[in-house]
Structure 1
Amino acid sequence: MNSSGWLKSGGDASLMDVHRSIPVRGQGSKLRRAFAFFGPGYLVAVGYMDPGNWATSLAGGSQFGYLLLSVALLSNIMAIVLQSLCARLAVASGRDLAQACRDAFPRPVAYMLWLFAEIAIIATDIAEVIGTAIGLNLIFGIPLEIGVLITALDVFLILYLQKLGFRFLEAFVIGLLGVITACFAIQIAMADPNWGEVIRGFAPTTEIVTNPNMLYLALGILGATVMPHNLYLHSGIVQTRNYGDSVEEKREAIKFATIDSTVALMFALLINASILILAAAAFHANGHTAVAELGDAHNLLSPVLGYAIAPTLFGIALLCCGLNSTVTATLAGQIVMEGFLHIRLAAWVRRLITRGIAIIPAAAVTIFYGDGGTAELLILTQVVLSLQLSFAVFPLVMFTSDKRKMGVFVAPLWLRAFAWLIAIVIGALNIKLLVDFVL
């Protein structure tokens, strides 16, 4: 072990082609420097509202009304803490989470963690393939089987955006998030929820623990919210900012990056809560308590709300979510492969490999089992993601709690205690989710 606390010294910079490409130093006022950090948090927020989240939120809202809003809030608080640790690790050590694992653990352990990270990215990609295919089906009537194959074309979108520059990539994602927000704002206005019950829904209730069905859905929402690939992603894209090397500059970078991700994740909570509120107001209140499939929700929206445009808005929002998740999963895949293995692939090659692996099970299930099969596969991807999560969370908390690795930027005691509590809770919930799934 060298004097820095890492087994190996750091190698190449994370996301070499865009590393430190966005200027922060010399940006004049503090407000301008803070604005330079605006962006990565929204790329991270995308992972908290992917199609897998939609399925669990729809099921929770239709079955139990507004009661599970407290779980969405709790999940979001966990996410805010973990993403702040990602920014801290990146700025303090100059490593993304994949590089940190490679430099801190023996090679067999690092390879095992790489494999788990790749499985998580493939599971995320399967959810995106299904979500995008369903979105295309809902808006344009394209059969699911063809929609699944069309999703392979997103590689050209990624190539084009990366050619324009990282700021354009962020602007594209933020623009689509704006469309999603507008779609849900209109749908919720149509659904006219009981706002008193909405507010009460954010207060935890013991019924969540005592009711086995509610607990299972609550675990699903928790499992679907914090994504393993997001932890790798954030620790890489924070380093696109050229924040300087002094202690003061790094301290400021950690602060601004944390503000960026916290605001963006509150935005993600708004979207996830909107899906749950829409399901509660449109379905639960009208006696439709078993809506868990995206297609069912789409078909019921028009007759329940009485507006022909409602299902179209739902489909547009879903399609935007699928496209956004594509961008972030590609970046996460690049960070994981380069960080763990030192293998640098062109973005389009990496994208085609991941998307090709994801399309095979998605296409097979769609062809042989239809809509019902895709809903089952969507839930399975969330279980897989839940099980991978601890293998990213525990190393992250370990590194940011270690003064030898982090120096003066080690997480303060209160943050370390909170982070360890979150890691243990996530681990326990995942074991419970696995037991339930097997039984």
Structure 2
Amino acid sequence: MKRFFKNIGPGTLVAAAFIGPGTVTVCTLAGVKFGFTLLWAMVLSIVATIVLQEMAARLGIVYGKGLAATVKSEIKNPIVRSLAILLILTAILIGNAAYEAGNISGGVLGLGSILDSYYVSISGLELNALSLLIGVIAFVVLYFGNYKMIERFLIALVLLMSVSFLITAVLTRPDISEVIKRLFVPTFPEESWLTIIALVGTTVVPYNLFLHASLVREKWESTTHLKAARMDTYVSILLGGLVSLSIIVCAAAVPTSDISNAADLAIALEPLYGDYAVYLLSIGLFAAGITSAITAPLAAAYVARECFGWEANLRSVKFRAVWIVILLLGVIFSSLSFSPIEVIRVAQVANGLLLPIIAGFLLWIVNRKNVLGSFVNSKFQNILGVIILLASVFLGIMSLIKVYNSL
């Protein structure tokens, strides 16, 4: 057991990243609108996440480089290489700034259920004090912590988040046989298609592929640890998926459909299950927001480091400058007059547009023998990868359609 916990790490950070406010919000809406009927879509999302994250982890351990650095070294044409790096860098930095605003906004929703919000003025800019609080916590952890400290902090928050949502799900006393049935029997209720896409899009997060490939090198040093890395990936993502399923189960118990986010869900559950539901869900949403608020800037900094060839040091000035900018943008945009749910939705759209590009790069790299040697994808892994890639392209198209229709 001691050895098992010793090998848990990077995968948990990935789970911490994808169980953010966007996931919590989408799962809440799925449960409120469609009950247990979309549980199967979350199961498929978990499988897709495991497939892609295993590829990313394998790349990091076998080749010793992250995804961005590998793409940079493998594209020989200087013009194409520059365009690819510019595309990755721009996509991740802009995408993660949007994610960060959604992450902090989600954490604010959680705290806002049990604390009053007020604004403070800094150089004429009105900032939500709760956004500042989350930003300060994320800053302290990233600035003063080394990899092990960040890892342990996020593992603790993931466990807190998991326990909060799991207990709340148990309190709702769901029909277990119905839950099990809906986990494995796909159904498509009327007007559910976009929600299904959102469940996939909010779980398979593009920046996690960069983050995971980089983090495994902080934890392990050779291919002898590949088995441990895979186990870490499987266990952590399954745990994260269990949290998502629990949120859907919680939301399905609400007797009204007038719910727009997890904070509303907490209030709606209060008459049925008492104050405990409010506090448990609020704590869970806060933990979801702050874990993602830490991992999104960290992922952006890793990508920038690989693209520009900076030294491998989490405390270098350049590395810190990147995550500080992303964190600061998140605090500012989450404090503006935008609805938190709208901010989260923008982040989901960014996710849908980025995923096909990043998944395509990853699938290309893990099939190159000069990179992975005997550890390249098997035929079965390629079949799964192509299916996921095609699904992500469809997701990106639907995201664009959704944005166009909302204009």
Matching residue's letter, 1:350: V
Of the three residues 142, 146, 152, the one matched with 1:158 is 142
The alignment of Structure 1 onto Structure 2 pairs a total of residues equal to: 386
* Pair 182,396 (structure 1): closer, same or farther in 2 beyond 3 Å: same
Which position in structure 1 is the counterpart of 2:99? 124
Of the three residues 274, 285, 289, the one matched with 1:318 is 285
How far is the alpha carbon of 1:76 from its aligned partner?
A: 0.4
Which position in structure 1 is the counterpart of 2:125? none
How far is the alpha carbon of 1:35 from its aligned partner?
A: 5.5
Corresponding residue SS for 1:292:
coil
Of the three residues 210, 218, 233, the one matched with 2:196 is 218
Moved more, 230-239 or 102-111: 102-111
- Equivalences for residues 200-239 of structure 1 within 5 A: 200-208=181-189, 211=190, 213-239=191-217
Of the three residues 404, 416, 424, the one matched with 2:370 is 404
Q: Gaps spanning 5+ residues in structure 2: where? A: 76-80, 120-127
How far is the alpha carbon of 1:276 from its aligned partner?
A: 0.4
2:301–2:320 contact (8 Å) kept in structure 1: no
Which position in structure 2 is the counterpart of 1:67? 37
How far is the alpha carbon of 1:32 from its aligned partner?
A: 7.7
RMSD: 1.9
Greater than 4 Å deviation, 4+ residue runs:
31-36
Of the three residues 43, 54, 64, the one matched with 2:24 is 54
Moved more, 74-83 or 334-343: 334-343
1:144-194 CA distances to partner (integer Å, 9 max, x unpaired)?
Answer: 7221233331212322332xxx22322211111221122123212321111
Of the three residues 364, 389, 394, the one matched with 1:428 is 394
Is 2:349 aligned against 1:365? no
- Equivalences for residues 17-416 of structure 1 within 5 A: 36-105=6-75, 106-143=81-118, 145-153=128-136, 154-162=138-146, 166-208=147-189, 211=190, 213-244=191-222, 250=223, 252-281=224-253, 283=254, 286=255, 288-303=256-271, 305-343=272-310, 345-346=316-317, 348-366=320-338, 373-416=339-382
1:59–1:290 contact (8 Å) kept in structure 2: no
1:410-434 CA distances to partner (integer Å, 9 max, x unpaired)?
Answer: 1112112211221111112221232
1:123–1:384 contact (8 Å) kept in structure 2: yes
CA distance in 1, matches of 2:3, 2:265: 43
CA distance in 2, matches of 1:417, 1:291: 39
1:56–1:221 contact (8 Å) kept in structure 2: yes
CA distance in 1, matches of 2:87, 2:143: 30
Matching residue's letter, 1:358: G
1:53-101 CA distances to partner (integer Å, 9 max, x unpaired)?
Answer: 0111000000000011000000000000000000111122211011112
CA distance in 2, matches of 1:328, 1:71: 25
TM-score by length of 2: 0.89
CA distance in 2, matches of 1:255, 1:71: 28
